[in-house]
Amino acid sequence: MTKNNIIDVTTIGNAIVDIISQCSDSFLSEQNIVKSSMNLIDEERSKSLYDNLDKSQIISGGSAANTSVGIAALGSNTAFIGKVKNDKLGQTFKDDIEKVGVSFKTPFSNFGPRTASSIILVTPDAERSMNTYLGACVNLDTNDVDESLIKNSKIVYLEGYLFDPPKAKEAFIKTAKIAKQEQNLVAMTLSDSFCVERHRSDFISFIENHVDILFSNDEEIKSLFQCDLEEAKSSIQNIGIEMIITLGPKGSSIYKEERWTNVGPIKPERVMDTTGAGDLYASGYLHGRSLNLNAEKCGMMGSVAASEIISHIGARPIENLKELIQNI
């Protein structure tokens, strides 16, 4: 890859095959699943849940991978780095993500646990409860970081979930250092409040030393700094990085160039499934950011992409996102 072949955004995260199924609240109770939570489960529990599903949709997923798919749909060049095994689910992941225009060149693993999967249970109120078997994706390490790809990416986007395995954290640090040497931007998402609680001090250190653009929802940023939202905003201002805080139905708040910009939501006719809303917001924002658009336009693109994704089941856009953002 040469400097003439620039990637707009490369994302790094857990490579997971999503198994999406609609269910009732009573099914969650029967299976002892806490509604709207993300549960890490073992392979046996994953198989047991799958065997109890009525119908399901199987598609490549994972937070950062979803973001890359959205970026490709918006018209930017994007690549994904994540670990899968050389098995049926791993091949499904690769075929599926490449089919929608995302470059995926991470070598398959020939040993160890099978490809990761997440059983996503969607209740009638559009809330999702995720039951994730991490499998092969936790084996991502520094050897999987494609230095040429990172050097030629305007922005690299890192998924906070990958802070759990130590080798993946080392891969993040390596990635950030390569990007900084090339004066490229490093973006990161906090991913989940429970993830923040597990890695609070490491997150803060990594953000202060390596991150240019930080994505979070309001609960995650409050958890990071252990304070209310306004105090958390002050902490971000003191660090001095670009910050995007998504606020659900209230839109988003963006800190860039020493000022906060509030961007309103775009509400779909009906909400079917909130899976991937944050991931697709990041797609829109990063697409705009790679074009050097201002905070408001980047945020509006994020709102458009998030609105589209929550209007149907699944974390893949079904409408033409390029057309939806044309008038922004």
pLDDT at residue 5, rounded to an integer: 58
Taking 90 as the threshold, does the pLDDT of residue 13 lie above it?
A: yes
Is 132 domain-assigned?
no
pLDDT by residue (tens digit) across 266-320?
988 888 877 789 999 999 999 999 999 999 999 999 999 999 999 987 778 999 9
Residue 50 token pair:
């799958």
Residue 302 token pair:
């994020």
Is 122 domain-assigned?
no
Is 157 domain-assigned?
yes
pLDDT at residue 272, rounded to an integer: 86
pLDDT at residue 273, rounded to an integer: 78
pLDDT at residue 3, rounded to an integer: 52
Taking 90 as the threshold, does the pLDDT of residue 2 lie above it?
A: no
Taking 50 as the threshold, does the pLDDT of residue 1 lie above it?
A: no
Residue 87 dihedral angles phi and psi, to the nearest 5°: -140, -175
Taking 60 as the threshold, does the pLDDT of residue 55 lie above it?
A: yes
pLDDT at residue 182, rounded to an integer: 95
> Please, what's the b/e burial string for 56-94 (b: 16 or more CB within 10 A of its CB; e: otherwise)?
eeebbbbbbbbbbbbbbbbebbbbbbbbbbebebbebbb
Residue with the bigger pLDDT between 245 and 126: it is 245
pLDDT by residue (tens digit) across 98-129?
999 999 999 999 999 999 999 999 999 988 89
Mean pLDDT calculated for residue range 258-271: 92
Q: Residue 91 sits in which domain range?
A: 7-15+63-114+139-324
Q: In total, how many domains does the chain have? A: 1
Q: Give which of 250, 259, 261, 257 is closest to 296, Cα–Cα.
A: 261
Taking 80 as the threshold, does the pLDDT of residue 163 lie above it?
A: yes
Is 98 domain-assigned?
yes
Query: What is the pTM (predicted TM-score) of this model?
Result: 0.90
Is 124 domain-assigned?
no
Strands of the sheet with 242-246, listed across from one edge: 103-104, 78-81, 7-12, 153-159, 185-189, 213-217, 242-246, 252-256, 259-263
* CATH code, 196: 3.40.1190.20
pLDDT at residue 58, rounded to an integer: 87
Question: Quick one: pLDDT band at residue 168, thresholds 50, 70, 90?
Answer: very high
Taking 70 as the threshold, does the pLDDT of residue 258 lie above it?
A: yes
Taking 50 as the threshold, does the pLDDT of residue 196 lie above it?
A: yes
pLDDT at residue 11, rounded to an integer: 98
pLDDT by residue (tens digit) across 211-232?
999 999 999 999 999 999 999 9
- Three-class secondary structure of residue 177 per DSSP: helix
pLDDT at residue 315, rounded to an integer: 78
Contact 242, 30 (CB under 8 A): no
Mean pLDDT calculated for residue range 179-205: 95
User: Kindly report the CA angle at 200 between 196 and 202, in degrees rounded to 5?
Assistant: 120
Is 195 domain-assigned?
yes
Contact 217, 246 (CB under 8 A): yes
Is 1 domain-assigned?
no
Question: Could you tell me where the beta strands, DSSP code E, fall in the chain?
Answer: 7-12, 16-22, 38-40, 57-61, 78-81, 103-104, 116-122, 128-133, 153-159, 185-189, 213-217, 242-246, 252-256, 259-263
- Of the listed ranges 61-65, 152-156, 220-224, 259-263, the one predicted with least confidence: 61-65
Is 39 domain-assigned?
no
Question: Quick one: pLDDT band at residue 37, thresholds 50, 70, 90?
Answer: confident
pLDDT, the chain, mean:
93
Mean pLDDT calculated for residue range 66-84: 97
pLDDT at residue 66, rounded to an integer: 95
Residue with the bigger pLDDT between 2 and 207: it is 207
Using a pLDDT cut of 70, give the percent of the chain over it.
98
pLDDT at residue 46, rounded to an integer: 92
